[in-house]
Amino acid sequence: MRIASIPFALCTLGSLVVACADAKPVSPPADQAASAGEEAPPGESDAASPDAPTPPDPATTSIDPKLLSAVPGWSHARESETEATGGLLFQPEDGREFPPSRFRQRYTFAADGSCEWLWLAPTDAHAMKPARCEIDPATGVVRFLGEDDSVDHELRIVKLSAEAMIVAP
């Protein structure tokens, strides 16, 4: 048995704000229809679209450290991520504008092994924190070393190109 849901929107009526019913029928998402024992409407399925990127295979990960430093900086582009992305999507900062965000992780890499990452302080302040990077091209693991050579944090790059850096969640 399907219970119909009626979506609504806030509408203004003079100086009043009221809830207005939207008369358009709404189908449940394909995964909800399947879990309820119903078939998904035609054209809707759990399969990723053919244009969606294929999730990277961790067993075949290999990155080129020179490509990391060839890009001026990498910013987390969470708005462009999909399930098919296979991790956290970072895109080059080469003049593009990203939507406003309370915190957007950033990384910069230099050819000499120095790097910076955006650090979020407990006071909610943001600052680029300098570090030295150790990169393992075979596994994609990047270690950010502090002044005392201790590991501040690390990440694993699962896919790298001039257009995107995908980091394991």
Residue 28 scores a pLDDT above 80: no
Give this prediction's pTM: 0.62
Print the domain residue range for 74.
58-167
Query: What's the pLDDT tens digit per position in 60-77?
Result: 467 888 999 999 999 999
Query: What's the pLDDT tens digit per position in 99-124?
Result: 998 889 999 999 999 999 999 888 88
Asked whether residue 5 is assigned to any structural domain, the reply reads yes
Domain count along the chain: 2
Asked whether residue 31 is assigned to any structural domain, the reply reads yes
Asked whether residue 136 is assigned to any structural domain, the reply reads yes
Residue 15 scores a pLDDT above 60: no
CB 140 within 8 A of CB 156: yes
Residue 88 scores a pLDDT above 70: yes
Do residues 32 and 62 both lie within one domain? no
